Amino acid sequence: MREIVIDTETTGLDPANGHRIVEIGCVELFNAIPTGQTFHEYLDPERDVPEEAFRVHGISAEFLAGKPKFRDIVERFVAFLGEAMLVAHNAEFDVRFLNAELAAHGRAAIGIERVVDTLTLARRRHPGVPNSLDALCQRYSIDVSRRTKHGALLDAEILAEVYAELTGGRQASFVLQTAATARVNSDGAARLARPAALAPRIDAAELAAHAAFVARLGQKAIWRNYPLAHTPETPPLPVAPTPPAETVPAP
């Protein structure tokens, strides 16, 4: 399944107040694994960058001067997203800004049904504790030493790692079995069948000692449900004789 982890940096908190996107960063995932394909653009917001926003992401109006405007990249951006599901942290914030930009350029809005919010996932998995991106990185031992300020592409790359931890994506995609080699246990869980049995790892003396011990446990010993491997030098597990039925005297 194709997914896009996305993050934005903006001039403020609300597009309804005239704030705009100044950076977009996207990381493509396929079956929860980054493919190496990214989308990254700094954007001229066609307005100033307030000091409080600059303190968060370090992107100045001077730096953005001459950068493309959203209308210049909208075609490539929409094409990169395609029909993929989107993954974002506190997704409502990013989607509001993206939809404001898309609407201003006559493009269809991003529906909430195609968005996965990792903040919601984290709150369900770790209720009652901080679930910011930094807190999750610390919880999952993800290196953020390179993250001195917020940055859309860097945050998207880090969020892809967090998303894998939240969903078990790495483990789920690491599949070693095939339909031909899989077998099913009595509880319905899949297990693997080896093409050739492994050689025993215990020697003949250990096998004999264990067999002698089990023989003393009686016919109902649970060990008898698990037959021991044996070698020509070590006979199969001996079967204890069945004790005679107890005789009850006639009245």
- pLDDT number for residue 190: 46
- pLDDT number for residue 150: 76
Q: For 43-91, write each residue's pLDDT tens digit.
A: 999 999 999 999 999 999 999 999 999 999 999 999 999 999 999 999 9
Q: Is 57 a catalytic residue?
A: no
Q: Please, which pLDDT band fits residue 116 given cuts at 50, 70 and 90?
A: very high
How far apart, in Å, are the Cα atoms of 240 and each of 152, 192, 207, 218, 243?
A: 72, 34, 17, 6, 9
Q: Please, which pLDDT band fits residue 145 given cuts at 50, 70 and 90?
A: confident
Sketch out the chain's domains with CATH numbers: 2-173 (3.30.420.10), 200-241 (no CATH)
pTM to 2 decimal places: 0.66
Check 19, 40, 150, 230 and give the catalytic one: 150
Q: How many residues does the chain have?
A: 251
Q: Which of 83, 87, 85, 91 is nearest to 161 (CA)?
A: 87
202 three-state secondary structure:
coil
- The CA distance from 26 to 51, in Å, is 25
